[in-house]
Structure 1
Amino acid sequence: MRSKHGNLMLNFVLTLFVYFRNRSSGKVSLGGRINSRIRHDALERIIGEGDRNCIWELRMNTNAFANLCELLQVQGGLCEDGQVSLPEQVATFLIILAHHKKNRNLQVRFCRSGETVSKYFNKVLKAIIRMQNLLFAKASPVEEDCIDPTWRKFKVNLNGLCM
């Protein structure tokens, strides 16, 4: 009876030893492969099943999303570093902005830590800021002789307001 418990305990200890040794040596464990599959499936549900889900989740179609990813990579300097793919970085950024999602929601959805979600959100944001001249339209003032009736409502005489 005692030897059965001893063998069971020995097997348990050996299993833990092999698991942690593989984990520390950089090999992908079973948990890493499962999480990777979950991440891939989550991204595939957003951009791989057609424009309907992509527009719903990211507020743009798959073609616009692919163009944005390429633009951020080429012009904005955004890159993959082996941890998170470029489409996943951009998708998490857009989901946070489009749906006012919290970091915690994306941790669960993509099986990432809060630190990872925050880090890559900031990386995409910095890439977009670097490209602001290309992405954002420059505002132009309304001309004095504008005939559009909507702008006449906003004309203010500052002489009457000053003291």
Structure 2
Amino acid sequence: MRSKHEDLMLFFVLTLFVYFRDRISGQLSLGGRMNSRIRRETLEHIVSEGDRNCIWELRMNTNVFANLCELLEVQGGLNEDGHVNLPEQVVTFLIILAHHKKNRSLQVRFCRSSETVSKYFNKVLKAVIRIQSILFAKATPVEEDCLDPTWRRSKVELI
């Protein structure tokens, strides 16, 4: 008859065996599968469940988000490298900008390390900078003869 202590040790050894076996074979361990599911569900909650969540989280609807992802991929050179997919990269970037979130809050939300969040934020930022001429409108000065009351200037005479 085994004691509770022996049962606990046996459970611990079996857990280690399963963990290292999965590591060596290249399969995801239970934690990796769990984190992957959490990431997927978080991304689906933001993007795939309709415009309401997408607008609330990213300040744009799903169609605009999809267009932005395509533009960043085609024109900006942003790509997936097997670790973080393109929509997740763009979502983390937009949440940081739209809500002034810290790296730590996104680490918890997407089950990523601080290094990963920072790395992909910088990748997306560089892609946005590459396509800034497409994304950002160029300012034009208001002309002197403008009739719009919003932009009407009052001329002040200096004595």
TM-score (norm 2): 0.87
- After TM superposition, give the deviation of residue 15 of structure 1 in Å: 3.4
Q: In the alignment, what sits opposite 1:127?
A: 127
**Paired residue total:** 158
Q: In the alignment, what sits opposite 1:139?
A: 139
- After TM superposition, give the deviation of residue 156 of structure 1 in Å: 7.1
Cα distance between partner residues in 2 of 1:61 and 1:155: 43
**Mapping of 1:5-24 within 5 angstroms?**
9=9, 12-23=12-23
Cα distance between partner residues in 2 of 1:8 and 1:31: 20
- After TM superposition, give the deviation of residue 13 of structure 1 in Å: 3.1
Identity %: 80
**Mapping of 1:5-44 within 5 angstroms?**
9=9, 12-23=12-23, 25-44=25-44
Q: Deviations over 1:99-137 (max 9, x none)?
A: 111111111111111111111111111000000011111
Q: In the alignment, what sits opposite 2:149?
A: 149
- After TM superposition, give the deviation of residue 6 of structure 1 in Å: 6.1
- After TM superposition, give the deviation of residue 141 of structure 1 in Å: 1.6
**Mapping of 1:72-83 within 5 angstroms?**
72-83=72-83
Cα distance between partner residues in 1 of 2:106 and 2:148: 45
User: Which residue identity does 1:31 align to in structure 2?
Assistant: G
Cα distance between partner residues in 2 of 1:32 and 1:155: 67
- The gaps in structure 1 that reach 5 residues or longer are none
Cα distance between partner residues in 2 of 1:34 and 1:128: 32
Q: Deviations over 1:40-89 (max 9, x none)?
A: 00001001111111111111111110111011000100001111110011
Cα distance between partner residues in 1 of 2:40 and 2:109: 11
Cα distance change on mapping 1:4 and 1:135 into 2, 3 Å: closer
Cα distance change on mapping 1:149 and 1:6 into 2, 3 Å: closer
Cα distance change on mapping 1:48 and 1:2 into 2, 3 Å: closer
Q: In the alignment, what sits opposite 1:103?
A: 103
- After TM superposition, give the deviation of residue 140 of structure 1 in Å: 1.2
- After TM superposition, give the deviation of residue 22 of structure 1 in Å: 2.6
